[in-house]
Amino acid sequence: MGWDFDSRQPIYVQLVRQLTQRILTGVYEPGSRLPSVRDLAQEAQVNPNTMQRAMAELEQAGLLHTERTSGRFVTDDEALLSDQRQQLAATHIAAFFRQMRALGYEPEEALALAKRQGGE
Amino acid sequence: MQSGKEANEMEQNYVFEARDLSRRFGGKRALEGVTFGLGPGHIAGLLGPNGSGKTTLIKLACGLIRPTAGEILVCGSAPCPATKAETAYLPDVACLDDRMRVRDLIKMFGEFYANFDPERARTLINDLGIDEADRLRTLSKGNREKVHLVLTMSRNARLYLLDEPIGGVDPAAREYIIRTILGNYQPESTVLISTHLIADVESILDYALFLRDGQIALQGDADALRESRGQSLDELFREVFKC
């Protein structure tokens, strides 16, 4: 999975989003150790301070935690992960209905269409 | 932006600072009333079109020229032998003797600078696939520039001043340069990259100083600028410097 930034938005916000995505989709597995800030910054080609800031935000959210000597780990709290997954799903769903409404579909019609396509 | 109190506490900590700095060449103003302070651990951009005073500022920091008024401070001191030892400078024009072999350049840098790490230089040169026995002039222009960058970044300095490090290189070379700068990141050091090609370095900057006609037109935290303006630094640059 590559890193992709829109330089019109704060980069740390985009890092938080993309790191969250990686955690929730299991690219970084629950309980696993994350690469160092330096390595991740180099991989994403972003400023290490910006990466650090994004990590701090994810720690705040409980998705990451630091162990003093051994580094930074992904949470293994399945309840939290599932809660975050549902929140992310909710934003995708909201975006879906918003875009469908822009195309002229009422929510029920949009849902019916989605069901039909999903069943294929 | 910091409050006055915080700014005072930070003051002791600046790696690179200018206070009401001015420099004239004859009657011509190159810099006027420039004030900023960069603490340790930053990768900052010195952004402005040609002729805005970027190179003048860097030469002042290196002690190659002196201010007409105001102060420029590296680790709290005006440029002197001690600050020069802590300042690694990549000039915007090629200045190495191109008859020299790469390994002799590494040796020369080692003799010149106590904080030069020849092993790091060799590793980075080898990563480039360059033979240490090659003379500089037999390398491509891009590789000559990369060798000079490697030599500069292989010093354990507090302040790195890179003057147009990505002037006219291809995308692969740009990526190499960005990776080298990030790979060398040290929390106690500060890197200042001067450029007018902002899109090329935008993502690695955490602070931006916009220079226009020798004055600071705008400065601030890179993400804070993006957040408040809803623009990239590159777009902001085009707006600030619109003719």
> Considering chain B, what is the average pLDDT of its residues?
91
Q: Does B179 touch chain A (CB under 8 A)?
A: yes
**A-B C-beta contacts closer than 8 Å:** 62
CB contact under 8 A, B42 and A45: no
Residue A112 vs residues A98, B44, B176, B211: alpha-carbon distances, Å: 15, 52, 50, 57
Would you state the pLDDT for residue B241?
81
pLDDT tens profile B175-188: 889 999 999 999 99
Domains and CATH numbers, chain B: 1-85+157-164+190-243 (3.40.50.300), 87-156 (1.10.8)
Please work out, in degrees rounded to the nearest 5, the angle formed at the alpha carbon of residue B86 by the alpha carbons of B131 and B89.
50
From A18-22, A93-97, B32-36, B175-179, the region with the lowest mean pLDDT? B175-179
Q: Does B230 touch chain A (CB under 8 A)?
A: yes
Residue B23 binned pLDDT confidence (cut-offs 50, 70, 90): very high
Would you state the pLDDT for residue B2?
46
pLDDT tens profile A48-72: 999 999 999 999 999 999 988 889 9
User: Which residue, among B124, B198, B204, B232, would best test binding to A if mutated, counting the most A CBs under 10 Å from its CB?
Assistant: B204
Q: Does B224 touch chain A (CB under 8 A)?
A: yes
pLDDT tens profile B113-158: 999 999 999 999 998 899 999 999 999 888 898 999 999 999 999 9
Specify the higher pLDDT residue, B239 or B34. B34
Average pLDDT for B16-45: 96
| Per-residue pLDDT at B5 exceeds 70 | no
* Cβ-contact B173, B146 below 8 angstroms: yes
* Cβ-contact B149, B124 below 8 angstroms: no
Would you state the pLDDT for residue A113?
92
User: Which residue, among B180, B185, B200, would best test binding to A if mutated, counting the most A CBs under 10 Å from its CB?
Assistant: B185
Please work out, in degrees rounded to the nearest 5, the angle formed at the alpha carbon of residue B222 by the alpha carbons of B155 and B120.
15
* Cβ-contact A19, A58 below 8 angstroms: yes
Would you state the pLDDT for residue B67?
97
User: What are the backbone dihedrals phi and psi of residue B94, each rounded to the nearest 5 degrees, phi first?
Assistant: -65, 130
- A45 interaction partners in chain B (CB closer than 8 Å): 175, 178-179, 182, 203-204
- A11 interaction partners in chain B (CB closer than 8 Å): 203, 222-223, 226
- B200 interaction partners in chain A (CB closer than 8 Å): none
Q: Are β-strands A64-67 and A71-74 bridged in parallel, bridged antiparallel, or unpaired?
A: antiparallel
pLDDT tens profile A82-106: 999 999 999 999 999 999 999 999 9
What's the rounded Cα separation, in Å, for the pair A14 and B235?
18
CB contact under 8 A, B203 and A9: no
Residue B5 vs residues A93, B10, B34, B40, B55: alpha-carbon distances, Å: 46, 9, 21, 19, 32
Residue B19 pairs in a beta bridge with: B71
Would you state the pLDDT for residue A16?
96
Identify which of A8, A13, A45 has the shortest CB distance to residue B204. A45
Would you state the pLDDT for residue A73?
96
Q: Does A68 touch chain B (CB under 8 A)?
A: no
**Which among B99, B103, B177, B90 has a CA at the least distance from the CA of B136?**
B99
| Per-residue pLDDT at B219 exceeds 70 | yes
Angle between helices B222-229 and A11-24 (to 10 degrees): 100
User: Which residue, among A3, A4, A6, A8, would best test binding to B if mutated, counting the most B CBs under 10 Å from its CB?
Assistant: A8
pLDDT tens profile B54-78: 999 999 999 999 999 999 999 999 9
Q: Does B226 touch chain A (CB under 8 A)?
A: yes
Would you state the pLDDT for residue A119?
62
Average pLDDT for B235-240: 88
Q: Does A9 touch chain B (CB under 8 A)?
A: yes
Q: What is the ipTM of this complex?
A: 0.83
Residue A85: which H helix or E strand, with range? Answer: helix A78-102
